[in-house]
Structure formats: C-alpha cells, structure tokens
Structure 1
Amino acid sequence: MHDRLGSGVDIRLPRRAVLTLPALAGVGILSACSGDQPKPVVQATTTPTAGSSTSAGKTKAVQIQASLKGQELTLDVGPVVRAEHEGEELAILPIHAEAARNNTEAVNVGDRLIGGLLTSVADYKLLRLIDTVGSKLWSTTSWQVFIEPLEPGKSQDLRATFGPVDVDSVTVFLSCVGFVEVPVLDADTDGAPRLDVEAIVKAANPYARLRTPAPLERYAEALDGSSSGLTTDEETTVDVSSDVTFSSDSAELSDDADSVLTGVAGTIAEYDGGDLEIVGHTDDVADDAHNQTLSEQRAQAVSTRLGELTDLGAWEVTVSGKGESEPKVPNDSDDHRQINRRVEIVITPTGGTDGSLSRSDVDAALPEAGGPEGHGPDGVTVDATDASGGQVIITLEEVTRRDGLLFGELRLKGGAGGSGSALNLGWVNDPGEVLANARGELAGLTSVFSAGGLTLLSGSDRIYPVDYLLEGTSAHRALTELELTDKLREGEQLTLCVVWPDTGEDTVVVDHPGARDGVTSYAWRLTQVPVVAG
C-alpha cells in the first residue's frame, strides 16, 4: 500500500464529492484519521521565550507558546539534526510538546504539525523546512499517519524526518502556529540532541520520494490579464496575451503592446545575457497552416520589438511558432481559447535567475475591493454571503522580509456565531476552478483544502503565494496552509501562515478576490500592512 499510494498521482474526485469532503472534515467525520479527535485549531504566539535562540550558531531549541482548541501548549522546536541510517543521510526535526495541567481535553499536536493519513495519501504533508537563501524547501518524509493525542499535563516528543539538509539554518513552517528559524547541526556536534535514529526511522516510515528539496517558484498575473510571469531558480517565463499585443488575426503589434513588453524588456535587462526563447501560440480556430504561420509571425514581431526596447546582444535568441499544437489548456471554451492565444517568452540567464518576479508594466489602477477593506493591523470583519452564514475577523500586524521572501502570519477569529463553515470553504481559498491551483494545474485535494487565495496586489500585478513542485507530482503546492478544514467557534482564533515573493515595498496589500467559475469565495482586503526586516 505504501508504494502504491506514493506513486505521485494526485487524487481526483467528482466536483460534488470534492466539495463535500471539506464540509465533512469540518464536522469531524475526517477526524477518524487522527483517533476520532476534533481537528485542533491553533491560536499561537510565536515569539521565542526568554533564553531561547534562533541563531544558526547555537544548539538550543526555540521555545514558543501555542493554543490548540483553547488548550495551552509549550513547544520546543529544533534544532534540525543531520543523521545517517543504513548508509543513507537524513535530517530529523525534534519537537517537544507539553500540555498545560489545566487543559480540559487532549489535543492532536502531531496531526496538526506533521500531518496524518489524509495528508499522506494526498501528498501534501504539512511540516516543511525553508531555506530562504537557497530558495528551496524540504517537505517532511514522515509517513506516520497516527500520533497519539496529547493529554492534559503530559508531554510528547515528536520526531519528523526529512531528506538531507545541506544548510546551517532553516525556517520551520509550523502549520497554524507560525515560522521559527532553527539551526541545523551534525549529530556529533556538542550540544546537539541525542536521538535514537533507528527508532525514529522505524516510527516515521520515511517516504523516499520526498527526500529531494523542491525549488521555490514565484507566479504573478497582470491585473488586466495581459500577461503572467513565472520565475524559477533557472528561468523566467512570461506569457503575453496575443489579445492585448495584437489585433485579431494579425501579427501587427497593437498600441497597447509596449505597455506589456516594456516589463519583459526590464526583466531581460536585469541580467548580463543567456538564452532567450520566443514562441508563438494560437487557439484552434482556423486551419493548422494559417495558425502555424500566424504564431511564427507574432513571435518574430515580439522579438523585434524587444530588441528595440533593450539590448539583446548578449543573448542567444531563438524565435519559433507552435500554432495550435501546444495549447496551455484545452480549447473547449472561449475563455480557454483566449488563454491559448499567447506569445511565450522564456528568459534563461547564464547562471540562473536572482529569484525576482517578472513584473508587468501596464498602467492599471488597483481594482476596487470586492468586499470589506481595512488596514492590516486593524483588520476586517468578513460576513459569509451564502446560506450557511458565518463571520470571520481577519488581521495581519506585519509581514517579515527575509532573503527575497515575505512571511505572513494572519490572525483569524470567529465573529458573531463563528465561521459557520470550514475556513477553506470561501474564506481563504483560491476562487479558481475546482481542483485546480492558481496556475490552472489539477492539484487534487490541496486545491480544495488550502489557503491558496491569499494574494498580494502590487503595482499592476496580482502576486500569488510562493509555490513548489514535489518530485513525482504534477501540480504545485502553495507555501501556505494546506489543510484548513477547521471551523471557528465565536471568539476562537487561528493563525494562518503564508509566504509570498518580496515586492520590495514598505507596505503590502493582501487581497482575497471574490468568487469566479462558480466557486464560493468571500472577498476581503487588508491594506497598509507594514513590512519589517527579519
């Protein structure tokens, strides 16, 4: 069963079944994965206590206070320890949890922080280590699907396994708790935790495919739909809409073309040279020969104009057309055909990218908020718009800038009557197509359970959370909460973690857009969120 479930094939369910699962989880039916205990809701303060250290040169754990379903906990996190088992390198993150004596019920600490049966089957383990300098992450390899709940007044040692970690410090993503920076130590380092590696590996049953770290990627879309940009560690790909840059069935650049191509030229100018590939694409309207010629002519027109906007002398430029042969999405609707009418520009600098987003240069005004709007520290009160009712209060005191990334810890609180529905059902989800992520990839359950709809508005772009592609999977996971099937009771709080690309601004705007394509989504916006160094 282990090998079969780990084949990397995302779980696909009918729309009705998918929409039902989170609702069932919200009322406890899916909690059978964790010993029939209710899903914990975390109210966390992630400030290290006195005497703790986040310095990579120290060996101490970082101690934080957290609250799960109103039950108080103390967590000692890290350091990560490099070890070896049967000739194979691995890393282990120790977490020591203590429950307050006056707690009234047991809490599922392991299920919340590491993940349980559902997260294992669907390939979206919750615990992740982030290398901000190298722009990559490790997903836990632990395949342990049941961890005993933590009783009041008791303590518990959690041991999560990872593939080899080759850096001196990492930022730990603690789901619904916060981000904690901890050192990475060799097992024989003085002061490093002494771990029973054999017993830990036996209990974790590590999943080998998840050993490899995944590069972090950055994705943004122009607000007017004129372009989208994707940046990996090796290249930047910009899709320019032919509907904006060309007249219908023409290879002559439109009056609006420069507003789009100037942004691309600016990205090219940031580097000293490399490979530049420009490829034209069409939809399936008209015959193959016509579409092939049109795609070639449009690609050449874009290449010529880019050469006028910036010096391409240090770039190896290739220009081609694919006609209708390589659609981005099926040509089964007018909206999809519009997506397929594009010119794709792939910028591969010598030595790789610097991780910066490719930004559009379109003169687009910030769209009006689709729902309540307020300053991040003050928060907004969001009311459900469907029959289920509910209210959630959302605040964001600040975001932390670190090595080209922005770390946010939003506070969600149940308003009058509580949230009414699970948080992934309208409050923070990506309002795109069911089972598809922001890029349009079929991502299975992670698209339904996650907080992928928390975007930044910057200039003329909508910027999505940083994402990553695990080995053997076909869709990117957002670097945010991946399992938000919790309901909030009135007054109950939860911390929601998310990582965005750095926009370079002193303040940011967090925007959750309204529904589209028939998916329930409640619009809200937080403005003037301060950015602090961390």
Structure 2
Amino acid sequence: MRAARPSRPVRCALTTGLCAAVALLAACTGGDPSPGPDGTPTPTVDPGPQPEGVVATAVIPEGGVDHEVRVHPLVRAGEHVVLTLDIVPVEEMEETIHILGFGVTSFIADGSDPVNVRLFDLAGDVVHHVGADAEGEPVVAPDDWDRITGERGTRLQMPFAAPAADVESLALLVPGAPLFADVPIVDGDLPAAAHPDDVAALATAAASAAAAASASPSATPEVEEVEPPEELDLDAVVTAPTFPLESTSAELAGAVRTIESTEKVEVTLGSDVLFAFDSADLTPAAAEAVALVAQRLAEREAGTVEVVGHTDDQADDAYNRDLSARRAQAVADALAAQVDGSGHRMKVEGRGEAEPIADNGTEEGKAVNRRVTVSLTSTVITRTDVTTTGELPPFGAYVGTAGTPLRVENFARAWDVDATARRVHGHVVVDLTVHGADDEDGLGWAVSFLRGFSSHRPGETVTPHDLTARGTVLQGASRLFPLDYRVGVNETWPDGEWFTASDLDAGAWIDGGQTRTYTFVYPRLDVESVVFQAGTGVAFDDDFRLLDVPVAADGAATPTPDPTD
C-alpha cells in the first residue's frame, strides 16, 4: 500500500479543455427529433452507448463512506481501450477519502495502484491489467485519482490492451461491487478528463464572473480557480499486459486436483488413493480417478501426455526413483487403455523424491509429495464440466442457506453474509455481500474470514497478502477455486505470483450498516445451484458455508441480495 500523497494547491482558471468539455456535454444531451414534413417527429435510430453515457452503477464503501461508481463504455483508442469511472460520494464527507481498495500489495508484479480494477474476457478466458509506463508504473489519470476531497468525487481513466475487433464487450471487476459482466466497447472520442459535475460547476462560476465583470467593469471579480484536469497520456503506455486464466478444482476427497488453462491441463493424483503402501499396483479405488483424468485428456487434441511419478523421502533416492517410475507407468497404462484411438502418446518418468512440493518433515507434507502428475499441452476441442456427484464434507458452526442472511460473529464484529450466483460465458460468478450488522463507525475493521495468505497451488508460489483466496464453491465431490493467473516469477518465487479473479484486497473497511460485495469467478459448471464456502470450517471460528445458492442463466439479471431483509 502506498503512502497517501500530500494535498496539492488548487489553481483557478476555466481552461480551453474544460470549455470544450462543456460543449461536448451540451452536444451529448441531444434533443427532440426534428419534425417531418407533416409536423410529426421523425423517428431516430438509437445510436447505442455513447462514451459520456453511464452504462452501469454500484455503491461501494471506501474509508467509511459510501460512494457510487458510475461506469462508462470502454472506448477504443488504437491498440488500447480506455475505461472511465466516476467515483462520487453518496453521503457527507468530513475529510479526504483515500481509495485504498483499488491497490494491491504485490510481491512480483510491477506497480500497484489500481491493478485491482481489471477487465475480463470470460469468453476467451483472458484478464487485462492496466497499462504501464517504462518504469512499470500504471498509467492513470489523474495522478491523484485515489484522493476524494469533495462531494463531486473524482473521474478515473485507465488504458488496457484492446481485445480483438470482433469483441463487443468485456467484464469489469471493481472492488466492492458486483462484477459488471457486459461493459460495451464503443468507438468515438474519449470522455472529458474532468468530471461532468466539475465542468458544470466551473461553467457556472465562469458565467457568474463574466456577469460580475460586465456589471462592474472597473472591479476585478474574484473567480474560483481550479487546476486543469490531467489528460490520460496514452503515449506513455509501454505495456498493457494480458494473462490467460486458469481453473483449478479438487475432486474425490482431495485425491484428484485439476489445473486447466487454454493451452494446458495438469492433473495431480494422490498416490495414497491410487496405490497401497510401497506398491505400484493400482487399487480398486483408483479407477474413478483415472477415469476422470481420461475425460480431461479426451477434451483435447492429440499430443504427448507426460506422466511423472513422485515420492516422499522415506527410502533412498534410487529406490524412490524406481517406485515412482513404476507407479507412473501403471497410471500411463491405465490411461492408455481408456483413451485408445485418440492419438495421445504417453511419456513416463519417475523423479522420486527430487521435486517435493511440501515439507517432508511432516506426515501431511509427505502425503502431498507422494503423487503422480499427468499433463498435456494442446488445444481444447471440447470442455466437460467438473464432477458434481458426491456428498458434502462436514463443516463448522456457521452454515446457512442463500436468501436468508447468515450472522457470522468474530472477536471484532458481527456480519450478515448472503450470496447470489450467475453464469457469464458459462463461468459461475458468485456475488457475496457482507453487511456490517452493528452500529460501529470508524473502527476500520476488515472482513477477516475472506483474507487469504497463500496460494492453493503447490510449489514455491505466492499471492498478494490480502486477496480473497478463502472463498470456494462446492458442488458434490468437487471444490472449485476462483480462476487465477500467474503475473510473474522471480528467484524467491520460482513458481510465480498468482492473482485470483476475485478481489485482491480483502482488507477493505466496512462500517456498521454498510454493505460490500465480493465477486468470485469460478470455472464453468452446468448446475442450478452451488454451495459457497469461506475457509475449511476447521482453521478459523468464523469460517462459513452458504447452501443452495441459485445460479442464474447466462445473461439473466441477478438481483443483489439485501442483507438487511
């Protein structure tokens, strides 16, 4: 989190740019259609969304004050699209508000603010980050966009990489608001850099000054001066990164974990389910796990399937390599029998204890290290939804049903939580509302039960410290994690830092009576309802589970639940 910037002096003048903005606003207001020859209005064609128009709104809490976020269409500008947001307080402010929830404390990614505001192409499974300059800092206008000092709020403009010409809309994730699933992309001039209310106020002030000068030519009227708005510098954008989204699910009581992206599928099989101790013979229970892997392979074009066995460090290295190779071969043989005729080729290897992904000093770590991984890099030709049969595992004290707010209490506060869900291009999107169920103001308490501190991925990985990593969806025997993507690697984290398709800052401040929405984007799942779960029900007393969250169809409007009902 960066330090708050010092206040800057405000200068006074109605600039040419602002005058142009006033003219633009006047032009955008339109008017009645011109009358036809018979005196009746001539029908006009709806021009569709316009750059200065507002296509969606939501209310988010920041710094103890509710603000309305007004979303404008994305405007194509060469190789970029530009996002314009107006952030306007909807209640009285007593002091400057800093929008901290839009920033991210990253261990690897360049820049920080406001990378928590992102565009998603959920048809193509790609996420867009804000464009950055040569130093890796985000290009944003204005420079002090995160400082709200008055009732008119601020206007934020950000560039992103433009999608293909045939992509007509993208999804927008703004922290604290439900996912805006369909923000249109339009052509035209960028909206004015100044907030429309600022333009109108300045125009009024200028008119008043002109009238005063006309009435008293010898007097010098006092005119409110305002610093000219900072224009978005698209020429400063050196890179506008995009990342492929990956999906992860854990199935069959943890025996099978699948990680999938557009290019690659990787499945990890727990050896303790596949094999008896010190054996390379598949157990009867392994059949369902192998069938699941075969199903994943059948979804993709033919290629080389790498089957790699791993062990813990209980025996010597030579023995472990031999055991891991024999186990990998057993899995490969079983897979080959099920995908016969598909053209897949099996490549088998045993690496023994050489590549642990957990601590061999504990029994739990040893169990994780005993595994067989199956991976294939190729094009997806079909897509099958994850397994949805099986029983839910037991849980802790806080279990409720969607539609009836669940009261969750911890050492700090009491919260009411509820959720709705919908599909966006097949993906399940959960909008979780958290409502401060008391009258306390100014405490700055964050919602601790959503905060995650580590990746669900194995190996030397890391995530931003406060991302909402503990929110998962359960469906039968499957546990789905939010979609995620790797933003980079370094020497400390060779397996990379991973961002989730959910709020990257779970440390947001919610006062009593305020409501904040947390959105989670999950893999594709063809079901009518899901179970949403925060945590495991074991580690923390305020973990909770919401049953029977209905999933609305693609494109259907899903009302945001009201936790106060």
TM-score, with normalisation over the residues of structure 1?
A: 0.77
For the Cα contact (< 8 Å) 2:451–2:469, is it kept in 1? yes
Contact 2:122 2:171 in 1 (8 A): yes
Q: 1:227 touches 1:360 (CA, 8 Å); kept in 2?
A: no
Instruction: Establish whether residue 232 from structure 1 lines up as the match of residue 261 from structure 2.
Output: yes
Give me the whole-angstrom Cα distance separating, in 2, the residues matched to 1:183 and 1:107. 32
Q: Which amino acid aligns with 2:145?
A: I
Q: Which amino acid aligns with 1:394?
A: V
Aligned partners of 2:175, 2:365: CA distance in 1, in Å? Answer: 35
**1:284 — aligned with what?**
313
Decide whether the 8 Å contact of 2:357 with 2:459 is kept in 1: no
Q: Which residue of 1 aligns with 2:152?
A: 154
| Deviation readout 1:465-519 (Å, 9 max, x if unpaired) | 1111124571211111111213433322211121111221001110123466xx6
Deviation of 1:296 (Å): 1.2
Matched residues in 1 for 2:523 and 2:474: separation?
Answer: 12
Please tell me whether the aligned partners of residues 178 and 431 of structure 2 are also in contact (alpha carbons under 8 angstroms): yes
Distance 1:302 1:271, change over 3 A: same
Whole-Å separation in 2 of the counterparts to 1:267 and 1:123: 38
**Which residue in 2 is equivalent to 1:380?**
406
Match of 2:291, SS state, is: helix
The aligned residue for residue 439 of structure 1 is 457
| Partner of residue 332, structure 1 | 361
Cα shift at 1:266: 2.2
- The equivalent of 2:245 in structure 1 is 216
Per the alignment, residue 18 of structure 1 pairs with none
State the 1:381 CA deviation.
1.0
Match of 1:366 in 2: 392
- Counterpart of 1:486 (choices 483, 503, 508) is 508
> Which TM-score applies when normalising by structure 2?
0.73
Query: Does the Cα contact within 8 Å between 2:436 and 2:515 map onto a contact in 1?
Result: yes
1:350-499 correspondence runs (5 A) = 351-352=379-380, 359=386, 364-384=390-410, 388-396=411-419, 398-416=420-438, 422-425=445-448, 427-430=449-452, 435-440=453-458, 446=464, 448-472=465-489, 474-499=496-521
Q: What is the CA–CA distance in structure 2 between the aligned matches of 1:155 and 1:354, rounded to whole Å?
A: 47
- Cα displacement (A) at 1:258: 0.9
For 2:97 and 2:381, the matched residues in 1 are separated by 41
Q: How does 1:190-205 map to 2 (within 5 A)?
A: 190=188, 193=191, 200-202=231-233
Query: SS at the partner of 2:325?
Result: helix
CA shift, 1:72, in A, is 5.1
The corresponding residue for 1:305 is 334
CA 1:333 to 1:418, structure 2 compared with 1: closer, same or farther past 3 Å?
farther
Gaps of 5+ in 2: 8-29, 31-45, 132-137, 195-228, 491-495, 556-565
For residue 122 of structure 1, report the CA deviation from its aligned partner.
Answer: 5.8
Task: Show the counterpart of 1:8.
Answer: none
**Separation (CA, whole Å) in 2 of partners of 1:104 and 1:521:** 35
1:44 corresponding residue in structure 2: none
Per-residue deviation at 1:129? 0.2
Whole-Å separation in 2 of the counterparts to 1:116 and 1:452: 14
User: Relative to structure 1, is the Cα distance of residues 64 and 526 closer, same or farther in structure 2, using a 3 angstrom cutoff?
Assistant: same
The alpha-carbon deviation at position 149 of structure 1 amounts to 2.6
1:291–1:502 Cα change, 3 Å = same
Paired with 1:366 and 1:449, the residues of 2 have a C-alpha distance of 28
Please report how far the alpha carbon of residue 380 of structure 1 lies from its aligned counterpart in structure 2 after TM superposition: 1.1
* Aligned mates of 2:469, 2:523 — CA distance in 1: 14
Q: Is 1:81 paired with 2:75? A: yes
Give 1:82 shift.
2.9
8 Å contact 1:231–1:355 — kept in the other structure? Answer: no
* 2:174 equivalent in structure 1: 174
Q: Do structure 1's residue 531 and structure 2's residue 551 form an aligned pair?
A: yes
Gaps of 5+ in 1: 1-29, 37-50
Q: Kindly provide the amino acid, as one letter, of the partner of residue 306 in structure 2.
A: E
Counterpart residue identity of residue 33, structure 1: A
Aligned to 2:16: none
- 1:228/1:148 Cα in 2 relative to 1: closer, same or farther (>3 Å)? closer
Partner of 1:33: 4
Q: Which moved more, 1:262-271 or 1:335-344?
A: 262-271
Of 121-130 and 223-232, more deviation after overlay is shown by 121-130
- For 1:68, the equivalent position in structure 2 comes to 61
The AA in structure 1 aligned to 2:257 is: S
Quote the offset at 1:333 in angstroms.
2.6
Alpha-carbon spacing, 1:369–1:334, altered in 2? closer, same or farther (3 Å): closer
Alpha-carbon displacement from aligned partner over 1:325-376 (angstroms, at most 9, x marks no partner): 2223343332222111111111334x2365656x468x75211222321221
The total of aligned residue pairs comes to 462
**Is the CA contact 2:170–2:185 (under 8 Å) kept in the aligned structure 1?**
yes
Rounded to whole Å, the distance in 1 between the matches of 2:395 and 2:130 is 37
Q: Percent identity?
A: 24
CA separation in 1, counterparts of 2:77 and 2:57?
Answer: 25
Per-residue deviation, 1:170 = 0.7
CA 1:169–1:405: 2 relative to 1, 3 Å: same
Instruction: Return closer, same or farther for 1:239/1:281 CA change in 2, 3 Å cut-off.
Output: same
Counterpart contact for 1:507–1:531, Cα < 8 Å:
yes
Contact kept, 8 Å, 2:115 with 2:129, in 1: the verdict is: yes
Instruction: Indicate the SS of the match to 1:125.
Output: coil
CA distance in 1 between counterparts of 2:104 and 2:324 reads 47
| Counterpart-to-counterpart distance in 2, 1:148 and 1:513 | 31
3-state SS of the aligned residue for 1:464? Answer: strand
Taking a change above 3 Å as real, the CA distance of residues 110 and 245 of structure 1, as seen in their structure-2 partners, is same
> Equivalent residue of 1:33, what SS?
coil
Q: Deviations over 1:293-348 (max 9, x none)?
A: 11111111111222333435421222222222222334333222211111111133
Which residue does the alignment assign to 2:184? 183
Retained in 2: the 8 A contact 1:219–1:228? yes
Query: Which of 112, 122, 136 is the equivalent residue of 1:132?
Result: 122
Question: 2: CA distance between counterparts of 1:190 and 1:331?
Answer: 59
| Distance in 2 (alpha carbons) for counterparts of 1:116 and 1:302 | 41
Distance 1:115 1:264, change over 3 A: closer
